[in-house]
Amino acid sequence: MRYLFLLAFFLLPLVSMAQPNPIGNFNSEAAWIHAPRISEMPAHKLSATDTCLIVISNRKTSTDSLRYMSEERDGEKLHYFFVFTHDGKWNVLPVNSLGEALKYVPDINNDWLLYTEGMGKLFTSDLARGLTVAGQYKLNVILFDYPSISTTKKQLGNYFFAIGNASTAYLDFGDAFKNVMQLRTEKKMGTGKLTMLYHSMGNHVIRQLVKHHMLAPINDKVWVENLVLNAPCVPRRGHKKWINKIAFAKRIYVNYNNNDFTLGGAYLASKKIQLGQKPVRNISRKAIYVNFNTLVDRGHSNFLSIPGRQPAKPAAIRYYSTILHGDAADLTNDKQFAVSHFKKIGWELLP
């Protein structure tokens, strides 16, 4: 009990500073009214400039007509949505499958991103992140949504709530990844390149998929250009072993920051050094390690310009614009990259 008190005492101020009020207004009536469910697509056609998002969620639905997606894992089935913006409002169309959602995508030949977020997302805030990524980087995005915060818990309780749900989400999303691979193979997702991005605690999804021997159905060929393990909030210990088993991606990027403030909080909670902070000891030769420390100091979510926070650095946006569109970062460009100052592990992204 004394240990837990001390842990909470030291952790809560750190998490509070690193992740300012993650719920914010996203559970307000206004936020949910802004993201209504609709029963059919509008008469007008969407254009290639409209911001759209496909969502695959393992949340339970709710009987509340306003807050229609809960803060609990379903555990039995997935829920699919096609989301688009129109006249300043989000529109959320429930669909029966990923294949049905693809019919509404305006530019099927655009590049694709499979995106899994980290801690602190209600359904509405996860939509916000997905739409922001889609709009900022001009990508077709499939968001894998899982409960990663509860409005009934405090900060330390939410850490364990989020890590529990992130660590079990592989049970739900494994078949969905296989479905994406099949649709790509059948040429039903256009000609664009495809990248996977796991951010922060979302990296537990791919880590657990490998560690529980459920990778085989998607691992027999290369069908993903880039696998991006972004600021991974997973233990660094043993990461070489599970990363080395991944064969479905042409390139694997591990984006880290040896002074990441948020992951410092995760260390205090878990007593395990996180891969996204200090990836030392037995690094994987299959991965490209990129250190953000010189560019962002103590930053964590370095790929997005989030309202209320400092905008993403131009150098970071250039880097992500390359790898999220499925291309290889030019590590020979000495104006953008240098050998990392942190134990010479990989590369340093320069300002």
Strand-pairing partners, residue 53, are 83
Residue 8 has pLDDT above 60, yes or no: no
CB-facing half-sphere around the CA of 191: CA atoms within 13 A: 0
Residue 16 has pLDDT above 60, yes or no: no
Angle between helices 170-185 and 203-211 (to 10 degrees): 90
Q: Can you read off the two tokens belonging to residue 223?
A: 């069908």
Residue 35 confidence (pLDDT) above 60: yes
Q: How confident is the model at residue 123 (pLDDT cuts 50, 70, 90)?
A: very high
Phi, psi of 168 (to 5 degrees): -110, -10
- Global pTM value: 0.94
195 vs 86 pLDDT, higher one: 195
What sign does the CA torsion over 254, 225, 324, 203 have? negative
pLDDT of residue 236 exceeding 80: yes
Q: Which of 147-161, 195-209, 281-295, 297-311 has the lowest mean pLDDT?
A: 297-311
Residue 206 has pLDDT above 90, yes or no: yes
Mean pLDDT of the chain: 93
The span from the first CA to the last CA of the chain, in angstroms, equals 45
SS (H, E, C) 183-197: HHHCCCCCCCCEEEE
Which pLDDT belongs to residue 6? Answer: 38
Average pLDDT for 117-137: 97
pLDDT at position 20, please? 55
- DSSP3 helix / strand / coil % (the chain, rounded to 5): 35, 20, 45
What's the mean pLDDT in 1-26?
Answer: 52
Least confident of 15-19, 82-86, 90-94: 15-19
Give 238-247 pLDDT, tens digit per residue.
999 999 999 9
